[in-house]
Structure 1
Amino acid sequence: MGNFDHDSKKLERTSTESQAEPLPPPAYEDIHDHSYHAGHDPESVDQVAEGPYHIRDDGRVDIDCNSRAVRTFSRFFSSTPVDHSQQPPPDYEFKAPGTLTCGIKLNIVIQVVGSRGDVQPFIALGCELQKYGHRVRLATHDMFASFVRKAGLEFYPIGGDPASLMAYMVKNPSLLPSMKTMMSGEIGRKRQMVAEMLSGCWDSCVLADPLTEAPFVADAIIANPPSFAHVHCAQALGIPVHLMFTMPWTPTRAFPHPLANLANVDGDQAIANYVSYHVVEWMTWQGLGDVINDWRESIQLEPINLLDGPALAQMLKIPFTYCWSPALVPKPHDWPGYIDVCGFFFRDTPKYTPTPELAQFLAAGPPPVYIGFGSIVLDDPAKMLATILDAVRAAGVRAIISKGWSDLGGDVGENIYYIGDCPHEWLFPRMAAVVHHGGAGTTACGIRNGIPTLVCPFFGDQPFWGHMIASAGAGPEPLPPRDMTPAKLAEAIRFLIREETSVAAKAIAALMQDEEGVRSAVDSFHRHLPIAAMKCDLISDQPAVWTLKSGGKKIKLSKLAAEVLISQHSRLLKELKTYQSKPVSIEPTRWDPLSGGASAVMATTMDLTGCITGIVTKPMKAYDDERRKQDRADKLDAMIDDQRLAEPDLKSSSASIRTGTSARSRDNRPSAGGKAALAGVKSIGNFAPTALKGMTVDIPMAITEGLRTAPRHYGDKLRDNGKVTGVGSGFAVAGKTFAWGMIDGVSDLVVQPYKECKKNGAAGIATGLGKGMAGMVTKTGAGMFGVFAYPAAGIAKSVRSAVHNRSRKLVDLQRRDEGQWLVANQKWSGSELSGLIESFHALGSSKEQTKKAKDKK
């Protein structure tokens, strides 16, 4: 294996300790010094081009840390390193989940892209959320409809083929494709699939159930990162979003990105680890950023630039819950408080009765070793089976071999048993050790039962889990199938059946026994909700989505409360305003006035070029998009019909809920050819408005923000003057920026030299004068430029909001539909109706009186 010597020494060191007490939880200092790669194999790499990265055949990326591009990335993060060597490893920490209370009942949509193994944990999460009174919809691939509905959750199809995505992931890291993949046309098909899933995710937030017609508009979003649409849907709706995943996706200095394989790390390993996350995210956005921005345009959101797109979750501080045990991978020191590690998501052990043959084999000797690779399709099953059998004989153990999707099977010996489908929850506790591909769920099941584990990774995050197990002493370093020989596998099996390996695995299992991953994840979700901002002022357990004025004061109203009020006083409908419980603002990051201004000029130039070339490209794209929508509508209608035949008790539908995309409403929609022609006309028509916006808004705003943020480079704190959301806020921000810019700029000439002198003595006066002069230029400059830039940006946003309001109108319409549906299903007495209306007026009056009392004081 190449790493057994290191691990043997580590286990020899701990073997005497393990006899006295269980091994401690793993410290990530042991992980920190590794990039967990199995060596650079030139034959396993698609040589895309000479550069900072290469694509491996295991779905991971070799990152050359000595390349110019990666060194440039490193400069952004090397200024604030975290010295892990001076800090103790994080103690094992498990937070017991809270009680079954939340205080508010939400419509929650869970968006998941992936295989059945990715969907299954979120079904457990959705069922747990229902216990708190939430209405839960799981939005994922069409093929999982029955799987989700049988669990008692609502389902929404987002399209996409998980089998096709998995096949692509095996051949590519889903980041940069091989030349063979590009030539075969797979890239275009994958991009179309991503576009389809993005649209499906948006529909899952705002459209009614396509099967039952029950209206639904999301109040909160939970998603795994590969669904991509999460943050953007939250921005369009102004609602909270919470990410959950089974592998690290947040930058840390503790260990590299699971899909990254670091090479030539000559400097700080911690910085290289941190940068690997940004490189992987940047590569992902490079391949899909234009698809995401095209979709954002379809829901009338502004595009996101290349620098900000990869770091949205970190920039917006989106809450993140990781679904693994802190006993196996502790939460790194440099992850902020809005990131939690909650434990693995486990389902209840399924009922299973073994066949007489299996029961007889288990009873015939010592516990066997399980060897299986699940849904992985092997290139050469016969060769793999021969390797396994030779290794089992050489190690002198009994083995249960899972047939899996590759249908492994052969002659049965007294020490070999071939098994088909069998729940791991039942089988693994009866094993001496397990050998598998390293999927997160399979890994969790083995470790939870204290079973020594060898991971034979094929792609993706599987090497990461293998290395985490090895770092904890619960197994050897991962053994990739391409490196596997009978001798190496036999040596790994011998490592597994050592007493000290078993002790290490059982120590982790002992820590995990009280963990409740699903409940802890729900608790994490609830803790990060802005409950106070979300609650309706009249019906406290419902989320607010509207505001109405009462006595000169805005009252937050739920869908139900608003419809009750409107049913009694129809005039209130005109005063109903959309309310966002968690507004999301995504603005371009400007590092300094020069780069900011240059990037804005370049972006405007590219937009203008796009307007010209769009005369040809836009019609083609519009035609393809419309044809794809029609095909998708046909498939959706067929799926709905099949579901209704299978479940005839469900409410029938006279028309599809997917307004404008259903095959049943196609006669009311412009043809694909008509939309294509209109797209060409719109493209050239956008030339003048694009040029005007660039010259009057984008470029001045970039220079202003660059000047405002420049002092950050020499350690000065930035003053938050607010966000520009419209005309009023534009003038307000301009006034604050001008006033404080002048005050801070002038005062810096005195304040900065004083601070530096106090810190560094007389020698610091010169440095302070330099900072003071820089602040004088940048802060006053931002104030002067901002007088024009911020109001112009506010006017542009207000105009855009007024013109591009189709999505907002759709959301408002769907919320009203759901409100009316709730009223129809809510049995209200006359006294309850009048009481609600009286509370509305009384609340407005009391708030007005409170305001007047404060004004008098």
Structure 2
Amino acid sequence: MRFVLATWGSRGDVEPLAGLAVALQELGAEATVCAPPDDDFEALLARAGVPMAPLGPSVKSVVAAPKPPSGQAAFELAPRLVAARFQTLGAVVQDADAIVATGLMPAGARDVADKLGIRYVLACFHLGGIPSQHFSPGARPGTPSPEGETDRRVLWQHDAERVNALYGPSLNSHRAEIGLPPVESVRDYVLTEHPWLAADPILCPSKGMTDLDVVQTGAWLLPDDRPLHDELEAFLGAGEPPVYVGFGSMAAYAPKDIARTAIDACRAHGRRVLLSRGWAGLDLADEGRDCFMVGEINQQALFPRVAAIVHHGGAGTTTAAARSGTPQVVVPLIADQPYWASRVAALGIGAAHERATPTVDSLAAALGIALSSETQAQAAKTGGEITTDGARVAAGLLVDGAMEGVKKV
């Protein structure tokens, strides 16, 4: 059996597919991950022993710009991604049993699967893009809904129209080239009626939350047994546990001077700081011996050893922090990040910073909540309840589905 796993997005979109690929390999199946040709992702998949096929442009070239991408840039990127999926997947999936697609609106993946008559699964890492009567759609480039519109069914219909404007012309053009009829609603076609939710049910409960029949597997985690390097071990051992601060790939969105603000907020609590450079390009604000810079790191090994975790609220970082049992402070910036911030606060495992641009005082106040004994106890308790078998569950469903297909033939 062979499966093709496709995504275009940040590390939080790529690493879960690496985890799923490893789980499939453990069941005796083959798996290829189609992902953006960024060096970080190539190294990640090579470390996991997973074959990679490059898909689309580099993500870093898009998200690491000084300013957030414009609406015009989104309308230019969408058809490029559609074309890349038809080209890459068309070449890679010829002998595959199924395609699993994730990441930024993977228009083009199901079309290739349908043409070849193989199974297609859409997987998401949060509920934000799935139509629901419980919440409104998030922001998307295109014509906005009229000011004052509150009917969620109307708002979700407008969301579908924005997706059509972004992806529809290119998608239907490529479909015509391979003999497929046009799609009326790109979003609904991509999502299917049974999307998979690769998120922990404690952090992201799905029952009754969407209009679709969601299959929740749990988060897809990639095991990481890399040791921490000697210099970091020495810093950790030289005093009380520090506070970790990282904003992942948020180069264009990270608050101005966030490193300086975070260091001062941590010092207000007498805490040392571990600063993660990331694509956000954070840097030490001074040469204080109470600060240490890290690059790409094994979060599974590091997070249980810090006092608190300050981050942007990506699905992967939120899950890793929750699993570690360490309190967190989420400073949400875009997309699904406000949702994860709200869940962290609601569960009592950390604090949600209300504004995207913290001050020293506001971040210190949020850290005070995270460092309280009550939050520490709740974070430790919840950490022991986070599921860790999501990738194995998903891999089992894929293999079982492929076996059923063989039996029917």
1:447 aligns with 2:326: no
Query: Which residue does 1:362 correspond to in 2?
Result: 236
- The answer to whether the 8 A contact 2:4-2:32 is kept is yes
Q: Give the Å deviation of 1:408.
A: 0.9
Larger helix fraction of residues:
1
> Are 2:91 and 1:204 equivalent residues in the alignment?
yes
In the alignment, which residue of structure 2 is the partner of 1:283? 162
Contact 2:246/2:277 (CA < 8 Å) preserved in 1?
Answer: yes
Aligned residue among 338, 350, 357 for 1:463: 338
2:370 aligned with 1:516:
no
Paired residues of 2:277 and 2:293 also in contact (CA < 8 A): yes
SS at match of 1:227: coil
User: Are the counterparts in 2 of residues 140 and 157 from structure 1 also a CA contact under 8 Å?
Assistant: yes
Give the Å deviation of 1:394. Answer: 2.8
User: Do the aligned residues in 1 keep the contact of 2:322 with 2:382 (CA within 8 Å)?
Assistant: yes
Distance 2:388 2:32 in 1: 26
SS in 2 for 1:197: helix
Q: Gaps (5+ residues) in structure 1?
A: 1-105, 207-215, 538-555, 557-857
Distance 1:266 1:504, change over 3 A: farther
1:411 lines up with 2:316 in the alignment = no
CA distance in 2, matches of 1:349, 1:467: 28
Query: In 2, Cα distance between the equivalents of 1:337 and 1:481?
Result: 31
Q: Is the 8 A contact 1:142 1:157 kept in 2?
A: yes
CA contact (8 A) 1:223 1:242 kept: yes
Task: Give the distance between the partners of 2:291 and 2:65, measured in 1 at CA.
Answer: 34
Shift of 1:111: 1.6
Structure 2 residue corresponding to 1:134, chosen from 29, 51, 57: 29
Q: Deviations over 1:789-840 (max 9, x none)?
A: xxxxxxxxxxxxxxxxxxxxxxxxxxxxxxxxxxxxxxxxxxxxxxxxxxxx
Aligned to 1:309: 186
1:253 to 133, 156, 161: 133
Contact 2:243–2:306 at 8 Å: present in 1 too?
yes
How far apart are 1:146 and its partner, in Å? Answer: 6.2
CA RMSD of aligned residues (A): 3.2
CA drift of 1:347 comes to 2.1
Pairing 1:605-644 to 2, within 5 Å after superposition: none
| Residue in 2 that maps onto 1:116 | 11
User: Hey, what does 1:377 align to over in structure 2?
Assistant: 251
Distance 1:295 1:228 in 2: 11
Determine if contact 1:455/1:479 at 8 Å carries over to the other structure: no
Post-superposition shift, 1:293? 0.8
CA separation of 1:501 and 1:312: change in aligned 2, threshold 3 A: same
Task: Output the amino acid matched with 2:90.
Answer: D
What letter is aligned with 2:25?
Q
Relative to 1, partners in 2 of residues 1:409 and 1:334: Cα closer, same or farther, differing over 3 Å? closer
Whether contact under 8 Å (1:352, 1:426) holds in the other structure is yes
Distance 1:169 1:117 in 2: 21
Which whole-Å CA distance do the structure 2 matches of 1:478 and 1:295 have between them? 44
Give matches, 1:39-118, under 5 Å: 106-118=1-13
Distance 1:501 1:414 in 2: 28
Q: 2:97 aligns with which of 201, 208, 219?
A: 219
* Cα distance change on mapping 1:476 and 1:257 into 2, 3 Å: farther
What per-residue deviation string (whole Å, max 9, x for no partner) do you get for residues 214-250 of structure 1? xx42221111152211221222122221111212232
The alignment status of 1:398 with 2:275, answered yes or no, reads no
Checking the alignment, whether the CA contact within 8 Å between 1:412 and 1:418 is kept in structure 2 is: no
Superimposed CA distance per residue, residues 653-711 of structure 1 (whole angstroms, 9 cap, x where no aligned partner):
xxxxxxxxxxxxxxxxxxxxxxxxxxxxxxxxxxxxxxxxxxxxxxxxxxxxxxxxxxx
Partners of 1:366 and 1:440 in 2: how far apart?
28
- Structure 1 pair 232/452, CA: closer, same or farther in 2 (3 Å)? same
Question: What SS class does the counterpart of residue 350 from structure 2 fall into?
Answer: coil
Q: 2:20 aligns with which of 120, 125, 128?
A: 125
Map 1:180-195; keep pairs closer than 5 Å.
182=72, 186=73, 189-195=76-82
Give the TM-score of the pair, scaled to structure 1. Answer: 0.43
Question: Deviations along 1:341-381, whole A, 9 cap, x unmatched?
Answer: 2222222233224434x434433433222112233326898
Structure 2: state its 5+ residue gaps: none
Q: What's the CA shift for 1:497?
A: 0.8
Superposition pairs of residues 150-189 of structure 1, within 5 angstroms: 151-167=48-64, 171-172=68-69, 177-178=70-71, 182=72, 186=73, 189=76
Q: State the partner residue of 1:476.
A: 351
Which of these residues, 113, 116, 130, is aligned with residue 237 of structure 1? 116
- Separation in 2, partners of 1:168, 1:335: 34
Q: Contact 1:158 / 1:199 at 8 angstroms: preserved in 2?
A: no
Looking at structure 2, the residues matched to 246 and 329 of structure 1 have their Cα atoms a distance apart, in angstroms, of 9
- Match runs of 1:445-844 below 5 Å: 445-482=320-357, 484-512=358-386, 515-526=388-399, 529=401, 531-532=403-404, 534-535=405-406, 556=409
Kindly state the Cα deviation for residue 411 of structure 1 after the two structures are TM-superposed: 2.8
Which residue of structure 1 lines up, in the alignment, with residue 204 of structure 2? 329
Partners of 1:379 and 1:433 lie apart in 2 by: 22
TM-score (norm 2): 0.85
Matching residue of 1:23 = none
> Structure 1 residues 161 and 422 mapped into 2: Cα distance closer, same or farther (>3 Å)?
closer
Structure 1 or 2, whichever has the larger Rg, is 1
2:272 & 2:46 partners in 1: Cα distance? 41
